[in-house]
Chain A
Amino acid sequence: MNMNREGRPTGTGSAPLEAINKAALLPSEPLLFEVGNVAHSGVDLPDVSIDDTRLGAFRRKSSLDLPGLSEPENMRHYVRLSRLNYSIDAGLYPLGSCTMKHNPRLNEKMARLPGFADVHPLQPISSVQGAIGVIAELAEWLMVLTNTKAVAMSPKAGAHGELCGMMAIKAAHEAKGEGHRNIVLVPESAHGTNPATAAFLGYKVVGVPAKADGTVDVQAVEAALSPDVAGIMLTNPNTCGLFEPDVKKIADAVHAAGGYFYCDGANFNAIMGVVRPGDLGIDAMHINLHKTFSTPHGGGGPGAGPVVLSKALAPFAPVPFVHAGETGLEFVEHVEGTKSFGRLTAFHGQMGMFTRALTYMLSHGGDGLKQAANDAVLNANYLKAKLEKVFTLPFGDQHCMHEVLANDDFLAGTGVTTLDFSKAMIDEGYHPMTMYFPLVVHGAMLIEPTESESLKALDAFADTMLELATAAKAGDVARFTSAPQNAPLKRLDETGAARKPILKWVREE
């Protein structure tokens, strides 16, 4: 007797299992403008008449063409779209230089306390003592971690922090009557934001070559120094994943030449509690709260980039800054009467990120932050030890910091590129590492596991990477050049997108 004869089918039928999974779990979703309707709204609001209007002659006559969705339709649309994203919660996210660590949910819960979320930035100071307290407390943690005496809290992201630090350097030179200094030294391995920031402020960018071991050549820096050099922008640990052993010598040389040392703190996660940047002679360093202190990346922001400052630059910090008044905490909000170079944003900075970062710091404590740095570096070195049998690591003869850098030498002659390799990782269920950065290494693969990954996760990742590398060397080129096959979409035509840009949806007539 066949119980299932008239019942529900129990097999996969004729469709392959993969295809069914794809339809169910990897939906394709039309655009909001295709599912929505301009005659619909998902928010109940009373109709009010505005007969006695004060809008003058400025009332809108044109249509906005903005569709609305009911709440269930809206929920489904954005849930379905979300499923097309990879995320750190769902898998290892080894993007070098991005520090994709776990984002604790206590951070989110604390940021949403009405006492932080439902507070206006321009309320009377007496009514926001707790909010200013968060800023002051976070600033204190950052100063202790870096051994610095001041911190500018308002920069909105790392690049905004670079702007802040370099503006402080410019202001300090001008205050000394040395505004003629018009050169900023930037190592070739730097993030693109470094030269962009220097150029933004009118500085001439002069590159500094790296030594064969991937670190900056102190003699090259000394040779480039002159009375026209305003300072240097150096990332430490650098973008090759290496600690700059001569960093103090470089700082001393730059200072001796009358310049300042801007440190890009993107990689601070490697050295928390182990090295304090203030002890290295830095004058300014931004800290990406969304990297090191686990405020979420959110699909590309918001970030937060507070900048710690040396005693020499502290007077030039942007407004607002916190100071302790007689009746409580206060803001200095205006440049008058100070040496501040100005204001970088309306209000006081990324407060929602401050509450998250402070929550994270309190959770970890000083001991936990140091352990996190130790584990991040251990994880990277463990991967390095596993991968170096097959991958080519240009600076593999030394310990790395929190990220490990490979070049594409191991793929030579295979017909597989770094891009192909990355896309094949997608088919194995991983987000690729950072590719083609830093520029100083051919076909760069920059792998940063962070401290959030367990031993099992690291082993599984290393096994996959080694299996892929072996397959590439064995000549299984099609697996790479046709990848990804298991993602929501195949490779996208970026050339077509750039040649004929379509940047918004247009209703078909």
Chain B
Amino acid sequence: MTKIAYSQDHEYVRTEASGATIGISDYAQEQLGDIVYVELPSVGTVFKKGDEIAVVESVKAASEIYAPVDCTVTEINAALEANPAEVNADAMGTGWLMKVSVQNEEQLGELMDEAAYATHIA
């Protein structure tokens, strides 16, 4: 079944039977404004929780995206290179950043669920 968990820094991890997907929350994309560029890591890169895994740029800001859990990148959303606006259009869906294999499932429990995140950004 699908589960979505959020970090304090507005990254989400969606876990499904097929694997995990990382992106930024809808709230985060709205705060950043028009996104013009997304810098993604190479497939196969191994990250520890808290490492910088991507950079999302608007015209006047560059925001680092941090690994919400220990993970290895298995796929990146290559479509964002030509169309970074997809993050604005559908951050939780087609605007995903990367698919990963989670190294430490326990860390997922340290993240917030939908309700907790809603309180966090309120």
Chain B contacts for A494, CB-based, 8 A: 59
Does A474 reach chain B (CB closer than 8 Å)? no
Chain A contacts for B58, CB-based, 8 A: 495
Leading 3 A-B pairs by shortest Cβ distance: A498-B36, A495-B34, A499-B36
For the complex, give the distance between the alpha carbons of A499 and B82 in Å: 8
Interface string of A366-407 (1 = CB under 8 A from B): 000000000000000000000000000000000000000000
Interface string of A480-501 (1 = CB under 8 A from B): 0000000000000011001100
Q: Contact residue range for chain A?
A: under 10
For the complex, give the distance between the alpha carbons of A499 and B58 in Å: 9
Looking at the assembled complex, report how far the CB atom of B78 sits from the nearest CB atom of chain A, in whole angstroms.
Answer: 16
Residues of chain A from 413 to 443 with CB closer than 8 A to chain B in the complex: 436
Does B112 reach chain A (CB closer than 8 Å)? no
13 intermolecular pairs with C-beta atoms under 8 Å apart: A436-B60, A494-B59, A495-B34, A495-B36, A495-B58, A495-B59, A498-B37, A498-B57, A498-B59, A499-B34, A499-B36, A499-B84, A499-B85
Chain B contacts for A436, CB-based, 8 A: 60
For the complex, give the distance between the alpha carbons of A387 and B110 in Å: 51
Looking at the assembled complex, report how far the CB atom of A192 sits from the nearest CB atom of chain B, in whole angstroms.
Answer: 12
Residues of chain A from 170 to 198 with CB closer than 8 A to chain B in the complex: none
Residues of chain B from 64 to 98 with CB closer than 8 A to chain A in the complex: 84-85
For the complex, give the distance between the alpha carbons of A499 and B85 in Å: 8
- Tell me the interface secondary structure of chain A in the complex: helix
Chain A contacts for B37, CB-based, 8 A: 498-499
Closest to B59 in A: A494
Chain B contacts for A499, CB-based, 8 A: 34, 36-37, 84-85
For the complex, give the distance between the alpha carbons of A499 and B38 in Å: 10
For the complex, give the distance between the alpha carbons of A498 and B34 in Å: 10
Task: Given contacts A495-B34, A495-B36, list 10 more A-B pairs with CB under 8 A.
Answer: A494-B59, A495-B58, A495-B59, A498-B36, A498-B37, A499-B34, A499-B36, A499-B37, A499-B84, A499-B85
Looking at the assembled complex, report how far the CB atom of A332 sits from the nearest CB atom of chain B, in whole angstroms.
Answer: 42
For the complex, give the distance between the alpha carbons of A498 and B61 in Å: 12
Looking at the assembled complex, report how far the CB atom of A500 sits from the nearest CB atom of chain B, in whole angstroms.
Answer: 9
Looking at the assembled complex, report how far the CB atom of A499 sits from the nearest CB atom of chain B, in whole angstroms.
Answer: 5
Residues of chain A from 67 to 82 with CB closer than 8 A to chain B in the complex: none
Interface string of A126-139 (1 = CB under 8 A from B): 00000000000000
For the complex, give the distance between the alpha carbons of A495 and B37 in Å: 10
Looking at the assembled complex, report how far the CB atom of A118 sits from the nearest CB atom of chain B, in whole angstroms.
Answer: 44
Looking at the assembled complex, report how far the CB atom of A85 sits from the nearest CB atom of chain B, in whole angstroms.
Answer: 22
Closest to B33 in A: A495
Chain A contacts for B59, CB-based, 8 A: 494-495, 498
Residues of chain B from 16 to 38 with CB closer than 8 A to chain A in the complex: 34, 36-37
Looking at the assembled complex, report how far the CB atom of B87 sits from the nearest CB atom of chain A, in whole angstroms.
Answer: 11
Residues of chain A from 131 to 176 with CB closer than 8 A to chain B in the complex: none
Looking at the assembled complex, report how far the CB atom of B18 sits from the nearest CB atom of chain A, in whole angstroms.
Answer: 30
Chain B contacts for A495, CB-based, 8 A: 34, 36, 58-59
Closest to B37 in A: A498
Chain A contacts for B84, CB-based, 8 A: 499
Looking at the assembled complex, report how far the CB atom of B32 sits from the nearest CB atom of chain A, in whole angstroms.
Answer: 12
Residues of chain B from 38 to 67 with CB closer than 8 A to chain A in the complex: 57-60
For the complex, give the distance between the alpha carbons of A499 and B84 in Å: 7
Closest to A498 in B: B36
Looking at the assembled complex, report how far the CB atom of B77 sits from the nearest CB atom of chain A, in whole angstroms.
Answer: 16
Looking at the assembled complex, report how far the CB atom of B26 sits from the nearest CB atom of chain A, in whole angstroms.
Answer: 19
Closest to B85 in A: A499
Chain A contacts for B36, CB-based, 8 A: 495, 498-499
